[in-house]
Chain A
């Protein structure tokens, strides 16, 4: 079977997608009734919403598009945009649908219904793109990579490994594949850090600028307590990507663990600037300060550690 089609098999039936959108439209009609605009308003917008709620999207959409710019009432604007988005999705007017969803997300950022609709539609777009990729280049490296990533997301580790290896057989120099293989080996239960290490090293031969590979090689070393190897790996990761925030923390942790407390201060100070809400940075920085005689600074960071940790208490056993 074509690899990309295999990924999206459950969603291939366009009828099903259309039915889902129709269902969403029907759901909307019920919701629209509860969010009816103020009495006395007889705008075109209301008429558009009414048509949309009856599934008459071809008539509704031009009215809604025209009306939306003039609406000031927030509730009415919400209903107009939602109706517009749903109708555009049903009519496969992708540009209108995406623009409307973007506006909804700007104006009603935390609305669950907006987020739900957005998730569905973006998923549909992703599936459509995968279909297109499957039809135009079914044996391309991109298609194979997409399939491998799909296997990965489903926890089908062995299938994903086979797929990545197939890509490398066809194109041994392709960037990112060894890295993904390495990450896969770390994700397996139990993880396989030896194979992961080999893959990250291979990635670096192909792409010496792979900061992520340097980082994970550093992590493997850090977990084994090999600070002498971990520290230069993290330093290189930062040099390659100065915005690689976790590398600063990992470097600071490794420096502290190696007893290089003074050297740990700078990366950890950078880290807490970038991620001030993470107790890890404050804790490690407090340790570095305390061990270098900066008691007051240590106390300040310890207070911040406690404050930030309190903001994110564990709520599930494996959090």
Chain B
């Protein structure tokens, strides 16, 4: 059989790929106005930016951008909504760069912990709390690993990470050495979850490439000597870490015994969720230039990597992409948790529908996500019900990793706007253009944490920028509907109830939500779950499916709305 195409216009592989990509961004499909017409949602802004003056958050990320173009400079950093003092109000943690072999910041830089003053303002309490970070910071994962009721902070860094134990009195103690979780290397995202169902939070830490000042490679213009940030394919992949919580304040590195080290990673993002409904938490890890991992938890402390056969490892063209941001949620309410992956420009992002039996289908094209993200590079992202209508929407933060990209690639920007996709029940609609000025503002976005900092039931956003100030966005859209906020406290299961499932009925609305671990990029979220009710004024019942080792289901009635409640495992009531 001859290999050619019609009309004497042979399609080279590269040309074919260009056309495949380009074909999707045509005006008619891509134009936001069409989505707007279909969306027909709130005409007022869904989110409003809170200025630094108003919030009191004066801290700024400094990347230390150098002529040497060290790769860590362009990828940080993360952030968290965390109620460190358990006062019921979300505080904010921000990660900065710091000293390492290629960078000695002058003046010194530090992370920041901002206490929520409950009036829309925040106070910097970093010094008192003792959580400044001590290396080149990347991300943060909050989790109550010792079950004392106060969230602890794991700060991922280069060339080693730090665990801050929350003392419960507004201060923290660096317990990294005692805990044994330093993770020497370049750590990126991390997640607390209970992989062995012993009721304690274990720790998975993504590792990026084998990197150090001595291993820096040249990428750039050989004539002028000007460097740009290297594509990670030229650096060696390294295995991620899995630390088992021993229950005594120490951890055991089980990376090898669990099978995690069999897969060499260049990992940016991770989300923990039970993807095959077998009662064990699996891990989806996004990698840059090597296939993504789906670590299926096979029990007895072992994971099996099945990403490619599951359909979430590589692109539809069989090639690894630059997987960065990630999340998991059952957006279509079929009982199976779906996945989302953001990539770099030209690669498009992927919404993976869980087809059950450990296989997924990329449904980004029919949902308009593929075409909208063609030129985007995605980091922080999260499924969230921003308008409290009961359906999980999707928020994507973007920005190209290379600050010289505009010289090289037409149409691709270093700073890119966020995207908001509304779940309309039968698919997603791009509603970015009508969701306020925040969605037309170009950002060098990296981290994204979601959390309700003003306790109004509308989940707000915290976005970090590389080498810039963080953005705090107040959610206005969620206020139009009713809601119930739920804080789950595990007793037999892990205290943060990671892996729990809440099902609820409000009149004709029957919905469920899974509490996944992690997700987004380098960031950590408000642990409370907000259940959207739409215009319904009553919630009939709520059922909590606690994660293993409990596995218990508790149905609760006589519930209030438009407020937060706490449900403690085994108590059968709310408070």
Question: Footprint of B on A, CB under 8 Å?
Answer: 175-176, 179, 183, 185-187, 189-197, 207, 209-213, 215-216, 219-220, 222-226, 237, 240-247, 250, 253, 257, 259, 270, 273-275, 278-284, 286-287, 290-291, 298, 302, 305-306, 308-309, 313-318
Counting CB contacts under 8 A, is B568 at the interface?
Answer: no
Beta-carbon nearest neighbor of A259 in chain B: B361
CA distance A223 to B28 in the complex (A): 12
Q: Which of B156-164, B308-316, B529-537, B542-550 contacts A (4 or more CB under 8 A)?
A: B308-316
Known contacts A193-B25, A309-B314, A314-B289; A244 and B6 CB within 8 A of each other: yes
A210–B25 CB distance below 8 A: no
Q: How far is the CA of A112 from the CA of B146 in the complex (A)?
A: 66
CB–CB A210/B316 < 8 A? no
Q: How far is the CA of A298 from the CA of B320 in the complex (A)?
A: 18
Q: Give 15 A-B contacts (CB < 8 Å), ordered by A residue.
A: A185-B26, A190-B27, A193-B24, A197-B26, A219-B19, A220-B24, A224-B29, A225-B366, A243-B1, A243-B2, A274-B1, A279-B317, A280-B317, A305-B314, A305-B318
Taking CB atoms, residues of chain B closer than 8 Å to A196 are 23, 26
* Contact A284 B316, CB 8 Å, known A189-B411, A240-B6: yes
B275-302 vs A, CB cutoff 8 Å, 1 = contact: the mask equals 0000000000000010000000000000
Q: Which of B9-17, B86-94, B254-262 contacts A (4 or more CB under 8 A)?
A: B9-17
In contact, B317 and A318 (Cβ under 8 angstroms):
no
Are the CB atoms of B309 and A302 closer together than 8 Å?
Answer: yes
A290-B359, A317-B231 given as contacts; is B309 within 8 A of A223 (CB)? no
What total of A-B pairs shows CB separation below 8 Å?
Answer: 185
Q: Is the CB of B4 closer than 8 A to any CB of chain A? A: yes
Most chain A beta carbons < 10 A, residue from B4, B234, B346:
B4
Given A190-B411, A195-B27, residue A253 in contact with residue B6 (CB < 8 A) = no
Q: How far is the CB of B357 from chain A (nearest CB, A)?
A: 9
Q: Is the interface of B mostly helix, strand, loop or mixed?
A: loop
Inter-chain contact A279/B318, CB cutoff 8 Å: yes
In the docked arrangement, what's the CA distance between A316 and B344, Å? 12
Q: Which of B20, B22, B23 has the most CB of A within 10 A?
A: B23
Nearest-CB residue, chain B, relative to A270: B1
| CB pair B308 A305 closer than 8 Å | yes
* Contact status B23-A223, CB under 8 Å: yes
CB distance from A184 to the nearest CB of B (A): 11
Q: Is B30 an interface residue (CB 8 A)?
A: yes
Q: Give the chain B neighbours of A186 by CB distance below 8 A.
A: 19, 22-23, 26
A212–B19 touching, CB < 8 Å? no
Q: For residue A243, which residues in chain B have a CB less than 8 angstroms away from its CB?
A: 1-5
> Contacts A190-B25, A309-B320: A286 and B309 contacting too (C-beta < 8 A)?
yes
Chain B residues near A179 (CB-CB < 8 A): 7, 9
Q: Which residues of A contact B6 (CB under 8 A)?
A: 209-213, 215, 237, 240-241, 244
Q: How far is the CB of B11 from chain A (nearest CB, A)?
A: 5
B362 within 8 A of A: yes
Residues of A within 8 Å of B411, CB to CB, are 189-190
Chain B residues with Cβ under 8 A from A257's Cβ?
Answer: 316, 361-362, 365
B371 within 8 A of A: yes
Q: B223 at interface (Cβ–Cβ under 8 A)?
A: no
Bound state CA distance, A187 and B458, in angstroms? 42
Q: How far is the CB of B460 from chain A (nearest CB, A)?
A: 31
* Residues of the A chain whose Cβ atoms lie less than 8 Å from the Cβ of B23: 186, 191, 193, 196, 216, 219-220, 222-223
Question: Are B25 and A302 interface neighbours, CB within 8 A?
Answer: no
Which residue in chain A gives the minimum CB-CB distance to B401? A317
A278 CB contact (under 8 Å) in B9, B314, B318, B375: B318
**Residue interface mask B349-371, A partner, CB < 8 A = 1:** 00000000001011101110011
CA distance in complex: A215, B20 (Å)? 10
Q: Which of B196-218 contact A (CB under 8 A)?
A: none
Q: With CB as the reference atom, state the residue of chain B lying closest to A186.
A: B22
Q: Which residue of B lies closest to A295 (CB)?
A: B309
Knowing A190-B30, A223-B365, the reply to whether A287 touches B317 (Cβ < 8 A) is: no
Contact B4 A192 (CB under 8 A): no
In the complex, whether B194 has a CB less than 8 A from a CB of chain A is no
Q: Which residues of B lie under 8 Å from residue A244 when comparing CB positions?
A: 4-6
* A271→B322 CA distance, assembly (Å): 26
What separation, in Å, do the CA atoms of A96 and B316 have in the docked complex? 49
Which residues of A have CB within 8 Å of B317?
279-280, 283
Contact B233 A224 (CB under 8 A): no
A196 CA / B23 CA spacing, docked (Å): 9
Q: B18 contacts which chain A residues (CB < 8 A)?
A: 187
- B222 in the interface (beta carbon within 8 A): no
Write out the residue numbers on chain A whose beta carbons fall within 8 Å of the beta carbon of B555.
none
Instruction: Say how far A279's CB is from chain B's closest CB, in angstroms.
Output: 3
B402-425 interface code vs A (CB 8 A; 1 in, 0 out):
100100111100000000000000
Query: Is B118 on the interface with A (CB-CB < 8 A)?
Result: no
Q: How far is the CB of A212 from chain B (nearest CB, A)?
A: 4
Closest to B308 in A: A302
Do A313 and B29 have beta carbons less than 8 Å apart?
Answer: no
Nearest-neighbor residue (CB-CB) of A247 within chain B: B5
Give the distance in Å from the alpha carbon of A239 to the alpha carbon of B1 in the complex. 13
Contact of B345 with A by CB under 8 A: yes
Q: Which residues of B contact A306 (CB under 8 A)?
A: 308
Q: Is the CB–CB distance between A193 and B309 below 8 Å?
A: no
Restricting to B496-545, which residues have a CB under 8 Å from any CB of A? none
**Does the CB pair A314–B233 fall under 8 Å?**
yes
- Structural contact, A212 and B7, CB atoms closer than 8 A: yes
Name the A residues within 8 Å of B318 (CB-CB): 278-284, 305, 308-309
